[in-house]
Amino acid sequence: MKITIIGAGYVGLVSSACFAELGNHVVCVERDALRVAQLQSGEVPLHEPGLQELVARNLAAGRLAFATDVALGVRHAQVLFIAVGTPMAADGSADLTQVLEVAHAVGRHVSRFLVVANKSTVPVGTAQRVHDAIAQGLAARQLARVPAFAVASNPEFLKEGAAVEDFMRPDRVVIGVPEGRAGERAAGLLRRAYAPFNRNRERMVVMDVKSAELAKYAANALLATKISFMNDMAALADAVGADIEQVRRGIGSDRRIGYDFIYAGLGYGGSCFPKDVAALCHTARGAGQRLRVVEAVQAVNDAQAGRFVQRLLQHFGGSLAGRVIALWGLTFKPGTDDVREAPSRILVRRLVAAGARVQAHDPLVHSLEQLMAGDPPARRARLAPHVAFCAGPLQAAQGADALVIATEWKIYRSPDFAALRRALRAPVIFDGRNLFDPAELGRQGFFYQGVGRGQR
């Protein structure tokens, strides 16, 4: 098939490479000319396991191309996927500016039947807005024969750090199509695009457009709920002397609950959960509803990193002035270089504000500009004298008054504790990801505090 994907971020780039790997002819359109030049040379400007190899292989095979020209992409496509950003606006809603810009461009250039599928995470009702924007573009052209089109919803369910695997082995493929003949044609073309995934079993879940749009938000909100629920339980575990890790094993063995997303820690971050939870609450308010559970999920998460810093402050008598804090892990999760809404950003700001100096290490984040991307330059300048980036975990721990673990990278899971104790000024570990056994750390002479595990 001939497929066009608009947007070369995580979702667009992974989708482009994977569809090409399945034998389709894919054009990925991106307005950032520098990024397009990088991709045309085979350089992938983001970290995602397996993606570099897919892009290189399909570029060489001629199945994958990158361009800045939307008109070229529209002319090429039987199915066009919109995979541009929908960042959070000031009021918590999803900013659809880029999505609607693509829709207007499609209207200016479409000349035959085309399926336009929203892969971007968008609120309920966006498909209708995209349909209207395309129709406006067509009307402005005053064509004698107006080409038909259909707007569908095809939300993505990719995890950063495992996006290629998730795309190639999906649990399900959700498709929302409009009623009528155009919707039937859209469903047929989308079934054809995803046919390779259905050989083992049927993975397509076809529904109406609004339900598909809401399904994406509901999925992310439910996963975020599991995380915030466990962080709430962790606070209670600390208060009553229980161990949240034992609790996790006790409830995770229940098949109705499962082990995924029930780890206590510093809260969720990244490009999806924070903005999607906020956008879902905004959608509910616009419909005259309140999502009281989801609002609580957001509130628990917003407080989690600050609560962790407060425990650190308590340990040092209420002041971190002059203290050196080693920080292991900066990305919002292991396996990615994404720092958007990462808890580490909150930790760094609050530690520096409390008078501490931070010595940081992360396998993929090596500068303050990278960590605090999106912050005003003046804010980064204020942090710069107080944050050092180190070549390795032990270097970050050298001379530090405490070690804080913010991301559960594998490199941090089995350190040389004897060497770590020698490196630290004091044997103090605040483990924001519950990587270690408190009893074992206690036997080795460390003061250890996790999340919901008491202190040893």
- Exposed/middle/buried for residue 61 (C-beta within 10 Å: 0-12, 13-18, 19+): exposed
Q: Are 1 and 78 in contact (CB under 8 A)?
A: yes
Q: Is residue 255 a known part of a binding site?
A: no
Instruction: List strands edge to edge, sheet with 324-328.
Output: 387-389, 357-361, 324-328, 402-405, 428-431, 447-449
Q: Is residue 179 a known part of a binding site?
A: no
Q: In the structure encoding, which two tokens stand for residue 40, read together?
A: 């045309």
Distance, CA of 37 to CA of 343 (rounded, Å)? 33
Q: Is residue 227 a known part of a binding site?
A: no
Q: In the structure encoding, which two tokens stand for residue 260, read together?
A: 């995924």
Q: Is residue 265 a known part of a binding site?
A: yes
Q: Is residue 357 a known part of a binding site?
A: no
Strands 149-153 and 114-118: parallel
Whose tokens are 């504000």? That residue is 353
Q: Is residue 261 a known part of a binding site?
A: yes
Catalytic residue (one of 28, 272, 281, 390): 272
Reduce the secondary structure of 389-451 to three states and give it as a string: ECCCHHHHHCCCCEEEECCCCHHHCCCCHHHHHHHCCCCEEEECCCCCCHHHHHHCCCEEECC
Q: Is residue 446 a known part of a binding site?
A: no
Q: Is residue 331 a known part of a binding site?
A: no
Q: Is residue 197 a known part of a binding site?
A: no
Q: Is residue 159 a known part of a binding site?
A: yes
Strand partners, 153: 118, 176
Catalytic site includes residue 272: yes
Q: Is residue 183 a known part of a binding site?
A: no
Distance, CA of 424 to CA of 426 (rounded, Å)? 5
Alpha carbon distances (Å) from 424 to 119, 288, 434, 439: 47, 54, 19, 19
Q: Is residue 210 a known part of a binding site?
A: no
Q: Is residue 340 a known part of a binding site?
A: yes
- Exposed/middle/buried for residue 211 (C-beta within 10 Å: 0-12, 13-18, 19+): middle
> Can you say which residues are annotated as belonging to the binding site for substrate?
157-160, 216, 261-265, 269, 333
Catalytic positions, written as ranges = 272
> Can you say which residues are annotated as belonging to the binding site for NAD(+)?
35, 86, 121, 160, 275, 340
> Can you say which residues are annotated as belonging to the binding site?
35, 86, 121, 157-160, 216, 261-265, 269, 275, 333, 340
